[in-house]
Chain A
């Protein structure tokens, strides 16, 4: 008997449609597309709308700063605002967020000031905000590693009988990493109060999702781990919020982890050093522009009469103020102290590091301009401390 390989890999299931509450055109989706989800109330939707508009303005501003050469890099989340903002909106103050490098607007939405977000992208330090105060882990660059941290923190919360939930953001490419598999499995086995929100923006830098996996959806993988999985329209913030907040509350109630896939699209390049024209069809960009998460909610809220032009103007003003603040913070000098390099490596002081610190201090003193004695006393700026 010959083995029919095709019959093994072809799924007997039809390609699923993502759950959604508001369709591309800004109208309420029919019940069969909503999968039993309840539309958030108008005040919640207006709040989500406001946060998406502000976040996009920030993202556009930071991309512009990067193109001006003022930041080393910036991975944009333009077009992915519904996933990012829904994730943050679903979390309580005591919950923890485990973001990636692409999730800066989630940080912004959870209250991290622009200057602290940009600290890493302009090269001040690897992570520029207070992780404990915001309950946001340092943005992870190695893929899927942070998902395990989220599972561990959630498990610790469970062991301590706390109500803290962890939510981790992942990309579609990251689901190929072994750590993603281990995180899904550990979370399910331990029934950890954790939510995995995969933003399927369909490209891992240049590699499309069909080169990452053979199954229908990322959400389908949840079945294999024994946890619920939801395939959601990632550009419909109403659906993303409904699913994510339900998953967070289920986790809090002791019902274990949930895997959510938000189907979305990365409207910008991977980073400023990427050229999407080499791997993406320009026509796709137009298709996804018509599915824009902000435009569709704007239409919906306008049509149900809860978003006035005055409020739109108010939100735009808030966004412009934030953009101005963001530009302004880049003009402030950001002193870095080379001697701080040695301060955060170990809790227990080391003689060898003290020696190396003294070496660098002597080198800096020697290089400091003799006529400008003040530079040796105060913090040394990046410019004067640029000796290597």
Chain B
């Protein structure tokens, strides 16, 4: 069952919300609608999470549904698996991207494979929220882009919202999904604001969105780099370049239909991410778009990404992150005729 099957809830009056507040509202509404939704992780209780995404939920729902767990990520995911086996819908938080790694085995060997290894008999409807990526001046291990680890794993659904409306809608959908969802929350966008009438509904979370139409280049972004892509498209106008911006929203599955149609229209594409380039998610995007659309392409698909280095310290991250200037320069390396 997806959110689309549920009875529509009356829209509330529009309010200006940050992405963090939209995520908070999504969890709150999901917990009000479904008593099987439970929330736990590190500091998600009385503190409300280090990014305040779970603010107020402990007070409303109490210890039995919102709880601070021991500080152990494998334990958090491993116990969420058992809860999901017993009919609950756990929503758990890995406090920061790089702190999800202790849970790697539970996610890859069990969360991803449970439906398959049990021949469809045991499903794990759980959401693993991961505040991810950089551009927040974080100290080491607080800015990783870990998406390729998850997208390389069959059985996981991996999504990342780039704005408050999607944050609300996609998290509601993730919580009702019968598939386990890795929900990547771009930290640098937590404070982005939008006016929303909750419960806002955007497109299904497994689809990409064309955020800005263009004719010359398809710029493919997701999560934290969507803002960069939109800024680049705006700058490009002055250069006479029409950029179409796609927000993937879902990394796995990949929306071949929407992205392919755009690439066939523009005949040029670049994929943007903060993560390192080698073996990164952009490699898959470039390869599959090339395989399926080669004869529509006028130029090789570019990857404009972080360098192949560990994420840098705060004073150096501006040199690491793809900027509009760097993106425009990269597009300028193509032969244009």
Is the pair A152, B78 in contact by a Cβ cutoff of 8 Å? yes
Most buried by A among B75, B80, B110, B179: B75
Q: Known contacts being A186-B69, A348-B157, is A130 close to B82, with CB within 8 Å? A: no
Q: Which residues of B contact A154 (CB under 8 A)?
A: 82
Contact of A149 among B102, B110, B257 (CB under 8 A): B110
Q: Which residues of A contact B253 (CB under 8 A)?
A: 350-352
Give the distance to chain A from B290, nearest Cβ to Cβ, in Å: 15
Residue A156 interfacial (CB < 8 Å): yes
Is the pair A344, B116 in contact by a Cβ cutoff of 8 Å? yes
Q: Known contacts being A160-B87, A185-B72, A350-B253, is A345 close to B115, with CB within 8 Å? A: yes
Is the pair B83, A156 in contact by a Cβ cutoff of 8 Å? yes
Chain B, Cβ-Cβ closest to A182: B75
Q: Which residues of B contact A183 (CB under 8 A)?
A: 75, 78
Q: Which residues of B contact A350 (CB under 8 A)?
A: 253
Q: Which residues of B contact A164 (CB under 8 A)?
A: 86
Is the pair B120, A151 in contact by a Cβ cutoff of 8 Å? no
Q: Known contacts being A182-B70, A345-B115, A352-B254, is A155 close to B120, with CB within 8 Å? A: no
Give the distance to chain A from B171, nearest Cβ to Cβ, in Å: 16
Give the distance to chain A from B216, nearest Cβ to Cβ, in Å: 28
Q: Which residues of A contact B106 (CB under 8 A)?
A: 145, 148, 179
Give the distance to chain A from B104, nearest Cβ to Cβ, in Å: 11
Residue A308 interfacial (CB < 8 Å): no
Q: Known contacts being A152-B78, A344-B115, A345-B155, is A132 close to B86, with CB within 8 Å? A: no
Is the pair B72, A149 in contact by a Cβ cutoff of 8 Å? no
Q: Would you give the 0/1 interface string for A191-230, flagging 1 where the beta carbon is closer than 8 Å to chain B?
A: 0000000000000000000000000000000000000000
Chain A, Cβ-Cβ closest to B110: A145
Q: Would you give the 0/1 interface string for A109-143, flagging 1 where the beta carbon is closer than 8 Å to chain B?
A: 00000000000000001110011100001100010
Kindly state the separation between the CA atoms of A317 and B157 in the bound complex, as whole angstroms: 51
Contact of B88 among A147, A156, A344, A351 (CB under 8 A): A156
Is the pair A186, B83 in contact by a Cβ cutoff of 8 Å? no
The 5 closest A-B pairs by CB, nearest first: A152-B82, A148-B78, A152-B79, A182-B75, A153-B82
Q: Which residues does A use to contact B, with CB under 8 Å? A: 96, 125-127, 130-132, 137-138, 142, 145, 147-157, 159-160, 164, 166, 178-179, 182-183, 185-186, 189, 340, 343-348, 350-352
Q: Which residues does B use to contact A, with CB under 8 Å? A: 2, 38, 64-65, 69-70, 72, 74-75, 77-88, 90, 102, 105-106, 109-110, 113-123, 154-155, 157, 177-179, 206, 253-254, 256-257
Instruction: Contacts A149-B110, A186-B70, A347-B178 known; list 7 others, CB within 8 Å.
Output: A127-B118, A131-B118, A138-B118, A152-B78, A156-B86, A340-B119, A346-B157
